[in-house]
Structure 1
Amino acid sequence: MIRQLTYHPVFLRTGVAIRQLLLRFALSLTLVFTTLFFTNTTVAYYRNFYQIRETGQSMTMIVQRTERTLVGKGTQKSRAKLFRYQAVFQFRNQERTMPVSKGLYESLKPGDPVMVLYGAEQDGFIPANDPADHRHLITPLIFWVVFVVTLLVPIPRGF
C-alpha cells in the first residue's frame, strides 16, 4: 500500500530528466566560466609580455640567485617534471623576480649581469632575449576543446 502511494512511474521519469537537465546546465555554466577565466589570464599574460617587449626600458641587472620550482604535484617516480625558472635581483631596494627560460637559468650564476626589459606600466620585468612562455596556452586550449565537444554532444530525447 505504501509503495503504491509513493511510486509513480511518470513522476520518476520527468524528475530524473529535470535533474539531469539542471545538472547539465550547471556543469556547462561552470565550464564556460572556467574557460573564460583561463582565456582571460592567458590573454593578459601575452598582452603584458608584448607591451613590455615593445615599450620596455632596457636595463642590466645583477642576479642575486636563481630559483627553480616544481609546477604542480610531482611524484618521485614521475619522470616528466615541469619547472618554473626565475632570476632574483634588486630593483629600487626591493627584491624582484623575473621568469627566465631553462637555458638562461642554466647559464646564470649569482653576480652575473642579465639584460632585462622593464615595463613601468606593468611594473614587471622580462628577459631581453627570451621568448614568451607558450605553456600558458595549454590550459585554455584544453578547456576550449572540452567546451566545443560538449556543445557538439546532442541532448538526449526526453528533455
Structure 2
Amino acid sequence: IFIDEIDTLAPARGKFIGDSGVSDRLVGQLLTELDGLRDCTQILLVGATNRPDALDPALLRAGRLDLQIKVDLPDQAGRLAILKVHNQGRPLQAVNLKDWASRTEGWNGADLALLTNQAALAAIRSYSAKGIKSPKKIRITNAHFTTAYNALMSQKQSHNFK
C-alpha cells in the first residue's frame, strides 16, 4: 500500500485548533489501523512525504513506518541521467543535456520530465505553426528547451518555489 503525501493524512496531533479534533481522531484511527497490519505479513505499507517534520511522531515508531529512507534531490550527474532517460529516442538537435543538468540545480525528476515534455511540445507547436505536419521532420532544439525552461521558471517563481 502506497500513501503519497502522508503528512496530510497524519499530521502531528494537537496542532490544529478549530477543527473539533477531527485531525487528531483521524490520526488516532490511522495508527490503530496500522497496528492491525502487524499480522498481515504479505502487506507492505509505504508512505511518502516531503515534510517529515509535519508527521505525527507516533507514526514513525517501531511496527508502523519504522524505516525511513531520505531521497535527496539529484545532483548534476543524477539530473543528467534523468534527462538522458527522458530524452531517449527523441529527435534532439544540438541540445546539450549536460548544460541543462547544470542549469536545473534544485530540480527533481518530475521537474526534469516536465521540462523535456514541454520542450517536445514547444517543438511540435513550432513545426505546426510552420505548416510542417510530418512528425519525422520535427527536431527538438535548444531553443525549445529554453522556451520550456523559461515557462517553468516563471511558474515556479509565481508559486514562490526555488
TM range (shorter): under 0.3
Q: TM-score, normalised by structure 2?
A: 0.23
When Rg is computed on C-alpha atoms for both structures, the one with the higher figure is 1
Q: TM-score, normalised by structure 1?
A: 0.23
Report which of the two has the higher share of helix.
2
Report which of the two has the higher share of strand.
1
